[in-house]
């Protein structure tokens, strides 16, 4: 379980997050929604310990991120918006490397990597350099590295951005499968994507939590269907 309590984050004079509190329960797929600049990536970076909050606390299964960051990070697999890939390595070599970083026992790594390759649909490209892969396969490799070490919680930042429609369907299917055995948190700016995959949604707006509820309540909230347009009219000068 991940819990954020009263998180604030400032970058100089800019306050990116304002009193954000949310919880992702074990076995839940939680969608973090918001337009660009709403604070989604900042919230995910704080969840993963990439940088600390200005104030507030983050706990992973009851362990505080500030007092025991390594203990917390061992329980998290993270896919940032731009996957941390080494283009000169093959897919298999890369997953071996990440597994060693995640302290998987050496004798267990080959079987562990094989299981991840199979789960992520990467077996056919396991021997190809990451730099030669398509966008979809690179994204799969990014998800695969998050699974190394078998962390119980997975955090994905915009996992389907930039993919073609077929690749989007495939990655969503993979996330749905992972949600059966992991706690999954992922950010998106697409309500339809969150509705397809998640049991709960948190909507961030200008750094604040604007909505935090199960998806069935989100669907019933008519106010979220309102559309506002700003129209500017200019009268042509008479000739």
List, in order of start, the domains of the chain with CATH numbers.
Answer: 1-75+152-239 (3.40.50.300), 88-150 (no CATH)
Residues 6+ apart with CB under 8 A from 41: 81, 157, 187
Q: Check residue 227 and give its pLDDT.
A: 46
Q: How far is CA 178 from CA 28, 30, 47, 72, 162, in A?
A: 10, 12, 19, 20, 21
Output the pTM of the full model: 0.86
Rounded to whole angstroms, the Cα distance separating 202 from 219 reads 13
Residue 202 has pLDDT above 80, yes or no: yes
Rounded to whole angstroms, the Cα distance separating 61 from 72 reads 8
Q: Is 176 helix (H, G, I), strand (E, B) or coil?
A: helix
Rounded to whole angstroms, the Cα distance separating 32 from 198 reads 10
Residue 75 sits at φ, ψ, to 5 deg, of -100, 5
Asked if residues 41 and 81 have their Cβ atoms less than 8 Å apart, the reply is yes
Residue 72 has pLDDT above 90, yes or no: yes
Rounded to whole angstroms, the Cα distance separating 125 from 152 reads 26
Q: What is the mean pLDDT of residues 163-185?
A: 90
- Identify the CA nearest to 72 among candidates 91, 50, 92: 50
CB neighbourhood size of 12 (10 A): 5
Q: What is the mean pLDDT of residues 115-142?
A: 94
């Amino acid at each position: 379980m991940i819990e954020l309590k009263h998180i604030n984050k400032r970058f100089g004079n800019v306050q990116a997050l304002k009193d954000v509190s949310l919880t992702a329960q074990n076995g839940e797929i939680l969608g973090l929604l918001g337009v660009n600049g709403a604070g989604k990536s900042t919230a995910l970076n704080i969840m993963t310990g990439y940088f600390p909050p200005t104030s507030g606390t983050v706990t992973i299964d009851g362990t505080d991120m500030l007092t025991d960051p390594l203990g917390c990070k061992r329980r998290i697999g993270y896919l940032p918006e731009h996957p941390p890939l080494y283009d000169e390595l093959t897919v298999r070599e890369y997953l071996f490397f990440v597994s060693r970083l995640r302290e998987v026992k050496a004798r267990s790594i080959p079987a562990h990597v094989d299981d991840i390759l199979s789960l992520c649909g990467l077996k056919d490209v396991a021997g190809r350099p990451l730099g030669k892969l398509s966008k979809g396969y690179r994204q799969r490799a990014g998800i695969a590295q998050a699974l190394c070490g078998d962390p119980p919680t997975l955090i994905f930042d915009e996992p389907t951005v930039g993919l073609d429609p077929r690749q989007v369907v495939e990655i969503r299917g993979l996330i749905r499968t992972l949600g059966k055995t992991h706690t999954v948190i992922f950010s998106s700016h697409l309500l339809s994507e969150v509705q397809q995959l998640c049991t709960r949604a948190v909507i961030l707006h200008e750094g604040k939590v604007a909505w935090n509820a199960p998806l069935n309540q989100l669907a019933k909230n008519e106010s979220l269907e309102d559309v506002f347009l700003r129209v500017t009219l200019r009268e042509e000068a008479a000739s």
